[in-house]
Each structure stands twice: as structure tokens, then as C-alpha cells.
Amino acid sequence: MGTLYLVRHGQAQASAYGVVDAVDDGPEAGSLTATGQMQAKVTGTVLSGLLARFTTAVSGGLVRQRQTLSGVLEAFDDRPEPIVDDAWDEYDLAGLMGEPTSAQLADGRGFQRSLDAVLASWVGGELAASEPFAAYARRVAEAGQRAVDLAGSGKSVLVVSSAGSITLWLAQHLGIDAEHWPKLSASMVNASITKAIVGRQGVTVLSINEHLHLSDHDGGIATFR
């Protein structure tokens, strides 16, 4: 039996979401914020208390995903060479919504309502996009299968991706209709942990969106975006 851990990236700078007037303080566009860096390290510390090493560590190609993988692996003395699989990249939010402003992103509920409406149109095939939803779903399924194939008996695989891609893969395995997938995606916390085991009967999802390690009675460092 193998184990698959999927971690959402830490909180990222506004430019990661295509914000047209973003003012970043990271080394490159789309980098993690200071909070995001801390989230990655805390999640790494939690995971290092559960297992000695990962057999394989994979991330999408986005800056925030690669930086989160690096931050998580810092907690391990014995760590594998990171692998980049671009198929784990998030959908192109700016390409679907247009470039939002900082004010729009700051209005969390309003922004989420707009995003939900856009995703519903995209999933339903009503919104033209450079990457149709069917193509996105196919690449996520293929990326997930590659990760599952790596999680052979006695293997532990770490994947760092984004809320949309992680939850779409989950929806595919749990039989959740694509039209309901955005609700699952919207609930994902930055640097949360999802765990699945891989055995003879296939993939069994054990936990989704674990984030208690990021929270405390004052709110902690848990964020959604």
C-alpha cells in the first residue's frame, strides 16, 4: 500500500491571481507571501512528524506551487529531488475572469460569487476559454494517475498543487459531479493536507483539507486566498 499526500500551496501574492494593479513584495510574480511561506513550513513540520521521508515529491509548475513544495521539504533531512509536472497547474483564473483589481480581490465574498458564476459557465461549456474545462479535467486526471502510479507499495508521494486541481481530482475519484466541484474547491485552505492511500482496490481518500495545524483560538495563519 502506498500513500499520497496532496498539499495546497500557501498564500500567494495578488499577482498569482492575475490582479492587474498588484504590488508584490516577493522575488518574482506569483510568489508566496510571508504568511504563505510560514504555512508551507508549518505543514512541512507536521508531515515530518508523520513520516521520515517522501519517496517522491511533485509540484505543478507555478511559482507558488514550487515554493510551497520547497518550504514543506525543508522540514525533512532526507528529501527527494523535486519533480515539476505542469499538469498540476491551476486553471487560468485571469483567463476566465479577466484581470481583477486589488479591490475586487479584497472583497472576498464578492470575488468568490463572481468566480463561482464564471466556473459554472466554464464547466457547462458556455464560456469560451483557451483551455476548455474538458481539457483541464483530462490533464488533472492524467496528473493524478501519474502520482498514483508513483505511490506503489511502501511509497509515500507528496504533491503540491492548487485548490482547483486538487479538488477536481478528488471529485473525479469520489463521484462528485463537475458542476458541484467549485463548491469543494472554494473550501480549501492554503497549505492544507489531503491524504489518500493506494492499494489493490485503487485509491481510497482518507482525509480532505486538513488544516487544524494552521489554526488556533485567534485564527492562526489559516487563509483561503
Top CATH class, 2-88+132-224:
alpha beta
Is 89 within 8 Å of 61 (Cβ atoms)?
A: yes
Report the amino acid identity of residue 203.
Answer: V
pLDDT value of position 108: 76
Does the pLDDT of residue 224 top 80, yes or no? yes
pTM above 0.75?
A: yes
pLDDT band at 158 (very low <50, low <70, confident <90, very high): very high
Backbone dihedral angles phi then psi of residue 222, each to the nearest 5 degrees: -75, 130
Closest of 139, 188, 202 to residue 9, by C-alpha: 188
Spatial separation of the C-alpha atoms in residues 31 and 126, rounded to whole Å = 32
Ranges of each domain in the chain: 2-88+132-224
pLDDT value of position 24: 64
User: What DSSP designation does 14 have?
Assistant: G
pLDDT value of position 20: 61
Range with lowest mean pLDDT among 28-42, 78-92, 153-167: 28-42
Furthest CA-CA distance within the chain:
50
pLDDT value of position 189: 97
pLDDT value of position 136: 98
Region 100-114: mean pLDDT is 80
Residue 29 CA, distance from chain mean position:
18
- Reading the block at residue 116, the C-alpha cell is 463561482
CA distance readout (Å), 86 to 51, 73, 95: 26, 19, 17
Pick the more confident residue, 102 or 83: 83
Does the pLDDT of residue 106 top 80, yes or no? no
| Cell 512528524 -> residue | 49
Does the pLDDT of residue 221 top 70, yes or no? yes
